[in-house]
Amino acid sequence: VTWNEQFQKLTTSDQNGLIIVWILYKGAWYEEMINNRNKSVVRSMSWNADGQKICIVYEDGAVIVGSVDGNRIWGKDLKGTQLSHVAWSPDSKTLLFGMANGEIHIYDSQGNFMMKMKMNCLVNVTGAFSIAGIHWYPGTEGYVEPDCPCLAICFDNGRCQIMRHENDQNPVLIDTTMNVVSIQWNHCGNVLAVAGFQKVAAQDKDVNLVQFYTPFGEHLRTLRVPGKQMSSLSWEGGGLKIALAVDSSIYFANIRPDYKWGYCSNTVVYAYVRPNRPEYCVVFWDTKNNEKYLKYVKSLISITTCGDFCILATKADESQPQYVLVLCNSIGTPLDPKYIDIAPLFVTMTKTQVIVASKQAFYVWQYRVAKKLTAMEINQVARTRKEGRERICHVDDTSSGAADGILDYAKALQGTRDPICAITASDKTLIIGRESGTIQKYSLPNVGFIQTYALNSCPYQLSLNCNSSRLAVVDISGLLTFFDLDTRVMDSKGQYVIGEQLKLERKDVWDMKWAKDNPDLFAMMEKTRMYVFRNLDPEEPIQTSGYICSFEDLEIKSVLLDEILKNPEQPNKDFIINFEIRSLRDSRALIEEVGIEESSQFIEDNPHPRLWRLLAEAALQKLDLQTAEQAFVRYKDYQGIRFVKRLGNLKSESMKQAEVAAYFGRFEEAERMYLDMDRRDLAISLRIKLGDGFRVLQLLKTGSGHADDSLLEQAHNAVGDYFADRQKWANAVQYYVQGRNQERLAECYYMLEDYQGLEDLANSLPENNKLLFDIAHKFVTVGMCEQAVTAFLKCNKPKEAVDCCVHLNQWRKAVELAKQYNMKEIGSLLARYASHLLEKNKPLDAVKLYYKANYFFEAAKLMFKIADDEAKKRTKPLRVKKLYVMSALLVEQYHEQMKNAQRGKTKGKTSEATSALAGLLEEDVVSSDSRLIDNAWRGAEAYHFFILAQRQLYEGYVDTAMKTALHLRDYEDVIPAVEIYSLLALCACANRAFGTCSKAFVKLESLETLSSEQREQYEDLALQIFTNRCPKDSKKSDMDGLLEEGEGKLPTCVATGRPITEYQFWMCSVCKHCVQAQEISNYNFCPLCHSSVS
């Protein structure tokens, strides 16, 4: 028989080889398809993971693969083989065929042989054996961890191997020590059930067993099954039941999965795997507010909870054996992680300590949590404070008290003959159970060994009651026993020993919880019933399959995890069930039936705080204030006592009833009573306390007479807050406007990005209003400089206004404001920003900054530096000239600024700011480089003549070119001498002025900057030129005489490079350089500085 889950079809095959596909239609099964090969019998059938294909194998080696709609895809005859089993891989690309001789062959999805599978589990096996089952879990519900073993193969002799894939060289090996008949994975691949029988020597009949294993081969449980012969097993779809075919019966067993879950402060924490993610999804479900918080955790091992906190134990890294304990609060915020080197197989926690045990050692960590701190602050505290105390002990080391300080992992990792199998702890006692049945008791928090006890069985789960006097022990078969740790009894030898096994025993127990407030009270789950025991006597059972969350105040809270994990993303409040135990139910019934007097006597005889609370509430309902007060005193509820006192001071009976209704949360009823008494003010104040602004507004508007303005504002603001909390800013604005709440209005406008509204609000505020500062900052964050400055100035914060301009790069505005408000620090401010720009390698931006701020001298200094740097890089000469011209123009602007400043001084009518600035600048000048100011145009002239000489040379005016080049001799500090004299030699040679050329060569050969190779080259070149040419100038003009005699006296024409001898010439108004009168008519712009001629 095989079932197709996706298409809900059943395929059967009988002893004659007849195959039928059945479908369910209107509650009855119908034959959809029939097929009979008539040659051989079907040995195995298997649907692939998506339910689209079925593979059928016959005993004689015939294989057929068909589609879900009945079409044959392919068929093959595997000659000479006897087939017995078939399985698809999860991706449907591979088929496994099990042979009658126990071999497994691997084929591709088209039926082509690939290889034989290596069976590691059959090493050293003798005798005949056959395959009992092959089951490959397809991963439909996700995997327990990435790369998890999922292919289970089992033989009838009990040997089993679980592989990650068909070629896994290192599979998980299991010896079940029984004859196996059937195997199957559960729906999510985390439990493998193996059914079979064991021969028992003493008895003549076999014992039927089902063994349960994890994918990693760890044995979970053994289930004994009655009957003669078990032939098959099957899991229910959700994995909560297992069906077993025994003889002519079907047995059903309930499965109680060991979920990863916990309960802390009204929050159920549970983990599940999603098919599409490798991590565990841990859900923190706040059952009170029905909110949930998700957290994805890799390689989660367990969840442990206590009080308000929970510990997630995880594996740190796949490659190393290191583990992490993450302390979380009830919404999943990690507060403190701890790295440990022992495997956290068993974890328990108390309000102050976490105890983790591996097989051979246990580790104790005293965690500290600051209740009132946020997660961020906790992280900071955690860094500064000394770490919480940690200890590690080997289970065989029973010396009293473990040393603090160094954690000796080497010792802890040593093996032991009697491994740990369970642990539990209360605030003062730690109990460790070992496989031999020995339990060890330690004191907490100092972890001092006290004594050992001997149990009758190996514990699987341990639990201490609230005063650590009794221990509940559940063993692997679900047998619950109790051990009294404190009683002194006489043993068989007549010796007094401490500790006694109690008489009570319960079978099939899968969960138990002691009451937090009574050492004799506990609840336990047995099959599908919950029992509550008081002093080891059971009350009548309650039918439920819930896992117990907590047991306190005579109430048990239980959670239906099976239901939740069917749809873990949508937990429902109906899955949390509260049970009241008998004494609470009886007391409630008593109060209702016989009244308060008699029941108070019963509660006096059976006192419990919860019962006193019940009595107090009942007395309040009946307005029996005296009894209520006494009960509240016994319940130690101070607020309750105060409330009763307040009720006593009220005269009106109906007023008291209304107050009581409000106390019990029946607010509608209380409000109605107030309104009936014509006390609208009390109804309103009740609603204000509840924060129900809508109802307050309604009450204020419906009443007669004028409503109090301040109350109306308060109500409007409350409604505004309601909308703002839900981020419905537009709705909130309407109410805040009516409630005149400017602070929240500003917030809403900002969130709505309604900057016009924000600006109007700022304009409507009076000067120096404290909100203006906040609004200004809001404008700054969105880069609205002008509005921000207005707001800052309105609240009298000019410095912040300047800072805002600086922050938003509005430097001109910043300087204006600094001048206007007479601020001294503007210079340092600019310098700071300029240095920031220079660090970012943006020198031109820094120049622009100074220029915009009218700091021309600073700008010029920077510009000269840029020009010098460019010149050194041997960039295009024209670019360098432009940079030098720019620098010089900045210096000219600086001169102009200084003149104006001086003028202002002499007139004596200028503002203080200007003169202060002028003074500052003058100081600057005195201390700075005078070269810049006196010879501002020098760099520009040098490169201008350098370019001009080359242009003239290339245009063929060799004589003019040479004369221009001669000017360059004065600029050796700007242009490298090599370039100047090379150009001069070239021009002179072209002009046949070999005298000048010779001098240029002499100069070149004497330069120290040249290497010896370069010098040789110049010497060789000179030799070639002057071997047959006399080094004399052929013509000497009058000009040269003039030039040499009165060197530097005559101005030079920047257009031609010739000296100007005429009395009439044109002078540039910007750079003060001259051009011959007849030449200037050819130009619209000055040849040097490019300013307009007109």
Single-letter residue type at 1014: Q
Closest CA to 998 of 980, 1017, 981: 981
CA atoms within 13 A on the CB side of 1077: 5
Lookup: tokens for 388? 């919480």
Lowest mean pLDDT among 51-55, 110-114, 364-368, 491-495: 491-495
**Res. 400 pLDDT band, cuts 50 70 90:** low
* Exposed/middle/buried for residue 1046 (C-beta within 10 Å: 0-12, 13-18, 19+): exposed
pLDDT digits (tens, 9 = 90+) for 618-659: 888 888 888 888 888 988 889 989 988 988 888 888 888 888
> Residue 454 in contact with residue 492, Cβ under 8 Å?
no
> Residue 160 in contact with residue 173, Cβ under 8 Å?
yes
pLDDT digits (tens, 9 = 90+) for 32-42: 989 888 888 99
Beta-carbon count within 10 A of 830 CB = 22
3-state secondary structure of 736: helix
Q: What proportion of the chain, given as a percentage, has pLDDT over 70?
A: 93
pLDDT: which is higher, 288 or 685:
288
Residue 766 carries which DSSP code? P
> What stretch of H or E contains 1050?
none
Closest CA to 425 of 357, 505, 486, 482: 357
Contacts for 702 with CB less than 8 Å, ≥ 6 apart:
none
pTM, 2 dp: 0.68
Q: Is the pLDDT of residue 269 over 70?
A: yes
In this prediction, residue 726 carries a pLDDT of: 87
**Which residue pairs from 670-679 have beta carbons closer than 8 angstroms and sit at least 24 positions apart in sequence?**
671/695, 677/652, 679/655
| Paired strand residues for 524 | 512, 531
Tell me the C-alpha distance between 74 and 54, whole Å.
Answer: 11
pLDDT digits (tens, 9 = 90+) for 912-933: 555 545 544 554 554 456 666 7
Cis peptide before 334 (omega within 30 of 0): no
Tell me the C-alpha distance between 339 and 280, whole Å.
Answer: 19
Closest CA to 608 of 623, 579, 588: 588
Beta-carbon count within 10 A of 983 CB = 22
Q: What is the mean pLDDT of residues 706-735?
A: 84
pLDDT digits (tens, 9 = 90+) for 783-836: 999 999 999 999 888 888 888 888 887 876 887 788 788 777 767 767 777 777
